[in-house]
Amino acid sequence: MTDYAPQSQITVLDTGGQYTHLIARKVRELGVYAEVRASETPATELTDRKGIIISGGPASVYEAGSPTMDPAILEDGHAILGICYGQQLMAHLLDGVVEKGTKGEYGAARLTIRNLTSPLLKGLESEEPVWMSHRDTVFTAPSGFEVLASTPTCAIAAIGSDAKRQYGVQFHPEVVHTRHGMKLLRNFIFDICGCIEDWEPRHRIPVVEEKIREAVGNRKVFFFVSGGVDSTVAYALCLQALGGDRVHGAYVDTGLMRKDETEFVESVFARLGATAFRVEDARDFFLSKLAGADEPEQKRKIIGEAFVDIQDKVLNSGHYLDQDWILGQGTIYPDTIESGGTAKADLIKTHHNRVAGIQKLMEAGRIIEPLSSFYKDEVREIGRELGLPNDLLDRHPFPGPGLAIRCLCSKENEPISRLPDGWLIPVHSVGVQGDSRSYRPVLAVESLHHESATELINRLTVVNRVIGLIGSFAPLDELSVRRSGLTAERLDRLRAVDAIVRRLSVSTGFESQVWQFPVVLIPLGTAARPDSVVLRPIHSVDGMTASSVPLPIDLLNQLKAELLEVSGISAIFHDLTHKPPATIEWE
């Protein structure tokens, strides 16, 4: 409801960064209302703002057609903070110099602060862990700007002009992996901009429920639920806002889910009191559609369109396609931002609820997504306020396309290549580097050291992911990529190893120490054992960034022993790569 939101004190100018809305959300967490606007918004529309933040983005400021901003904003006295591309854009529009760096800087970095008395950096320590995602860099700061900080790779990692109240940072203070990022934002928002607290997030549930009632009107809502946190919380919100007789649901068993998932989903919705709930068995349908698919975007689009086909079947069977019904979804904000949901954001991956069939329903005004402005941690908070059980809310996120994007395929038999740093595995995975999508091979090494993996990623442009060898039946030189598809046999193999990982993670307490623990099957092995397993434990808050988590030695040894006993498994690896440069899922 627009009359509930106060006037924006802070505007985030969107230059296409994957973290644009995360910046606005972090400002709101500080109690200050913030909005996101296009980067080219005229200065005349922002005169009453107390501060401007310029987001990161995937482009290069020196290239034609790259996102820009009204230069008048830099001259009208606003307090300004440029982040990543935002710092580069400020420097470019003034008289600084921005060029491509000698190597990229992705993930964790060590910041050395030169001026601890800077209003932006006060309260920080002389050495700070920060999160980077860039290759371009500011080589010469604009006149009147002081160089405030640097890293071993980036000589100008922060700049500032106290007189102008304008600052830039090459790192991302909005992500959780920048240790004192919120302190930096607090310095900017309150001390530099002079904002006052005007936003109380606890009021969001009544607002969302009112928006649900406004959007639905006199119609009813039908949900296709996964049993995960997002769709269940969205369902519960609609249930509370509209009542049980107006909210129906169905769970589609795609054959791409984890072991015993269908039984768990049925138990969750029984506890919710969802009486109008059904299970649709579509296992054979999805597997037939996915036969021969190996490329990530192809798999996601096939799954998305298959969901639409099944939706049509279910909706027709219950007259849900009548104008009296609309479709509800548990889409959260990272789903839209990573699918190019902001004006200039690069496509990282197509989410199953953003394919053409769903878009048509959206254009017809027959979709409601109550959580599309929220991040995963906020969704969990909403669920707790609604009284949902912890065994649901504390579950690790699970992707909508299911095991299909954790079971990688190959159209050809291919050898692996020995490099000075390890083995180049011709299995491509999706990454996000400099806010852009990458799709590159994987580097396998014998070490399990995260720092050396980060150094390799920053130095080698041919890969976007580094995996460390935990154990193998044969030397890596004897393994090769095997021609393979999404078959029932391989999915059952993945289900078996995933169940082992989940059981051991829960029994050792490791499950509660990580945000998510994807288990990936890759077609690397021998004729007798054609697949390998990659373990991907990560820590995150909202899925926008993530750090790879080391495995405790006792758990690692247990996993090695049990997983290598699974039929068809040749080797076990640990994904040592942060996000960025790798996405959480392999695809």
For residue 123, give the CATH number of its domain. 3.40.50.880
3-state DSSP call for residue 363? helix
pLDDT at res. 434: 63
DSSP 3-state of 133: strand
Residue 587 in any domain: the answer is no
Amino acid at position 169, single letter: V
Q: Distance between CA atoms of 307 and 314, rounded to whole angstroms?
A: 10
Q: Which of 11, 57, 55 is nearest to 36 (CA)?
A: 11
CA atoms within 13 A on the CB side of 186: 10
Q: Name residue, tokens 């699918």.
A: 339
DSSP assigned state of 8: P
| More confident: 141 or 461 | 141
Q: Do 498 and 415 fall into the same domain? A: yes
Q: What is the mean pLDDT of residues 518-533?
A: 97
86: alpha, beta or left, given left = phi > 0 and alpha = psi -120 to 50? alpha
Same domain (yes/no): 504, 529: yes
Residues 430 and 548 in one domain: yes
DSSP E strands in 187-322: the ranges are 220-225, 247-253, 277-281
If residue 168 lies in a helix (H) or strand (E), which one and from where to where?
strand 166-169
Q: What is the pLDDT averaged over residues 259-270?
A: 89
**Assigned token pair, 421:** 């740093």
- Residues 382 and 453 occupy one common structural domain: no
CA distances for 324 relative to 220, 221, 293, 407, angstroms:
6, 9, 37, 39
Handedness of CA 97, 101, 104, 105 (dihedral sign): negative
| pLDDT per position as a tens digit, 312-356 | 788 778 778 788 888 899 988 666 554 444 555 555 445 445 445
Q: Stretch 422-449: mean pLDDT, rounded?
A: 89
Residue after which a domain boundary falls, among 346, 376, 400: 400
Domain membership flag for residue 586: no
**What pTM, to 2 d.p., does this model score?**
0.68
Q: How far apart are CA 339 and CA 331, in angstroms?
A: 12
Cα dihedral 71/76/80/84 (nearest 10): 10
- Of residues 226 and 409, the one with the higher pLDDT is 409
CB 460 within 8 A of CB 417: no
Last residue of a domain, one of 374, 400, 426: 400
Give residue 279's identity as a one-letter amino acid code: V
pLDDT band at 201 (very low <50, low <70, confident <90, very high): low
Tell me how far apart the alpha carbons of residues 238 and 306 are, in angstroms, rounded to a whole number. 25
Element (H, E) at 230: helix 229-242
Whether residue 208 is found in the same domain as residue 241 = yes
Residues in the chain: 587
Residue range 580-586: average pLDDT? 90
Q: How far is CA 22 from the centre of its chain?
A: 11
Handedness of CA 16, 17, 22, 28 (dihedral sign): negative
In terms of domains, do 90 and 184 share one?
yes
pLDDT tens sequence across 363-421: 788 889 998 877 777 788 889 888 888 888 888 878 878 999 999 999 999 999 999 99
Residue 255 lies in a domain: yes
3-class DSSP state of 284:
helix
Q: What is the pLDDT of residue 348?
A: 46
Which of 321, 417, 403 has its CA nearest to residue 361? 321
| Digit-coded pLDDT (tens) for 151-177 | 999 999 999 999 999 999 999 999 988
CA distance readout (Å), 511 to 444, 505, 514: 25, 5, 6
Task: Assess if residue 427 is contained within a domain.
Answer: yes
Structural domains in the chain (count): 3
Is residue 482 assigned to a domain?
yes
Supply 399's token pair.
């992707």
Domain boundary among 343, 376, 400: 400
562 falls within a domain? yes
Measured over the CA atoms of residue 182, residue 185, residue 190 and residue 192, the dihedral's sign is positive
Q: Are residues 292 and 169 in the same domain?
A: no
Give 242's contacts (C-beta < 8 A, 6+ positions apart).
212, 213, 216, 220, 221
Q: What is the CATH number of the domain that holds 450?
A: 3.30.300.10
Average pLDDT over residues 19-32: 90
Looking at every residue in the chain, the average pLDDT score rounds to: 89
**Residue 285 is assigned to a structural domain of this protein:** yes
Handedness of CA 237, 243, 244, 245 (dihedral sign): negative
Enclosing domain of residue 534: 406-575
> Is 206 in the same domain as 187?
no
Question: Are 96 and 207 within one domain?
Answer: no
Are residue 517 and residue 553 in the same domain, yes or no?
Answer: yes
The answer to whether residue 4 is domain-embedded is no
Q: Is the pLDDT of residue 1 over 60?
A: no
Please check whether residue 93 is in contact with residue 23, taking contact to mean a CB–CB distance below 8 angstroms. no
The alpha carbon of 258 is separated from its chain's Cα centroid by a whole number of angstroms, namely 21
Residues 448 and 379 in one domain: no
**310 phi and psi, to 5 degrees?**
-70, -40
Chain position carrying tokens 């309260």: 123
C-alpha 39, offset from chain centre: 22
Buried/exposed 520-547: b ≥16 CB within 10 Å, e otherwise: bbbbbbbeebbbbbbbbbbbbbbbbbbb
Percent of the chain with pLDDT over 90: 64
- For 146, residues 6+ apart whose C-beta sits below 8 A from its C-beta are 115, 118, 159, 160, 161
Q: Which residue has the tokens 């050898």?
A: 415
User: Would you call 147 helix, strand, or coil by DSSP?
Assistant: strand
Q: Are residues 360 and 215 in the same domain?
A: yes
Kindly indicate the confidence band of residue 139, based on its pLDDT and cuts at 50, 70 and 90.
very high
The catalytic residue positions are 84, 172, 174
